[in-house]
């Protein structure tokens, strides 16, 4: 799942300048203005995001339609998979990522609900989904050019294991509940665009097929539209 997260990366910028002959004044070129520094950081975050997205299966990749299998081995390779997924999710500026999005058909997803910290769930099962629903904008790292309103249960319980095989049970609400519903769908080959009503879905499909970006609804931002053309 995609979101507008930005990251406070530390960047050291070293610049050397060839001074022109005959120059009388020695300007302080080493200091970037606040605006220049921000632009540079954004460009670096953008490059990082494009790199991460290039490793994430993009719609209509067939892997996104496959059902993942239960994990039976809680071994080192599972831990490594989870670590790789967490790094990709962070670099891609997402708040959730399922293994199927990497073409790995195992029931694993990572997500980053602000109130609970970074989580990895193995063999997740949803229950107690509230009848109360909420419609909010959703994005997906496998369809980064689309953000559309999707109806989800406001509250849900997710149970499963952590990567070491320990039981996990989380009672979630709001954005966290939305993310685990989105990611669990991924493990069953279901995408958020499948959850749309006919009209919104048609508009979304038009936007996906269009070379000119989203048509009928909000884009993530000018910045992410740019990154899409590169991936
Ligand atoms: Zn997604």
pLDDT along the chain (231 residues), means of 10: 53 46 55 92 96 96 98 97 97 96 98 84 98 96 93 98 96 96 98 94 86 43 28 22
Pairing of strands 148-153, 96-98: unpaired
* pLDDT tens digits, 209-220: 875 444 334 333
Q: Which of 136, 121, 142 is nearest to 190 (CA)?
A: 142
What separation in Å is there between the alpha carbon of 188 and the centre of ligand 1? 12
Task: Walk me through the domains of the chain, giving residue ranges and CATH numbers.
Answer: 34-230 (3.90.45.10)
- 129-174 confidence digits (pLDDT tens): 999 999 999 999 999 989 999 999 999 999 999 999 999 999 999 9
The dihedral formed by the CA atoms of 112, 36, 51 and 118, expressed in degrees to the nearest 10:
-10
Q: Which residue has the tokens 């149970």?
A: 159
Active-site annotation holder among 24, 31, 41, 183: 183
- 80: phi then psi, degrees, rounded to nearest 5: -65, -40
Amino acid 48: pLDDT: 97
**Distance between Cα 183 and ligand 1 center (Å):** 6
Q: Which of 79, 71, 207 is nearest to 140 (CA)?
A: 207
| pLDDT given for residue 62 in this prediction | 97
Is 14 part of the annotated catalytic residue set? no
CA 185 / ligand 1 centre spacing (Å): 8
Look up the pTM and report it. 0.79
CA 166 to centroid of ligand 1, rounded, Å: 25
- Cα 228–chain centre separation: 13
Query: What is residue 229's predicted lDDT score, i.e. its pLDDT?
Result: 23
Cα three-residue angle 158-165-68, rounded to 5 degrees: 60
| Residue-level pLDDT at 225 | 29
Separation of 96 CA from ligand 1 center, angstroms? 7
């Amino acid at each position: 799942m995609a979101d507008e997260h930005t990251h406070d990366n530390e960047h050291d910028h070293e610049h050397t300048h060839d001074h022109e002959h005959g120059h009388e004044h020695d300007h302080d070129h080493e200091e970037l203005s606040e605006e220049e520094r921000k632009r540079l950081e954004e460009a670096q975050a953008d490059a990082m995001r494009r790199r991460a997205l290039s490793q994430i299966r993009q719609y209509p990749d067939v892997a996104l339609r496959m059902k993942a299998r239960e994990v039976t081995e809680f071994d080192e390779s599972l831990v490594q998979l989870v670590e790789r997924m967490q790094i990709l999710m962070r670099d891609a500026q997402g708040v959730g990522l399922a293994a199927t999005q990497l073409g790995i058909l195992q029931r694993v997803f990572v997500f980053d609900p602000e109130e609970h910290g970074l989580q990895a769930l193995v063999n997740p099962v949803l229950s107690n989904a509230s009848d109360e629903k909420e419609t909010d904008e959703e994005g997906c790292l496998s369809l980064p050019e689309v953000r559309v309103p999707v109806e989800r249960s406001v509250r849900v319980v997710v149970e499963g294991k952590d990567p070491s095989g320990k039981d996990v049970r989380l009672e979630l609400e709001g954005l966290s509940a939305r993310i685990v519903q989105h990611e669990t769908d991924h493990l069953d080959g279901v995408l958020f665009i499948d959850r749309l009503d006919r009209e919104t879905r048609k508009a979304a499909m038009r936007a996906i097929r269009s070379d000119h970006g989203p048509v009928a609804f909000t884009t993530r931002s000018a910045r992410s539209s740019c990154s899409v053309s590169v991936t």
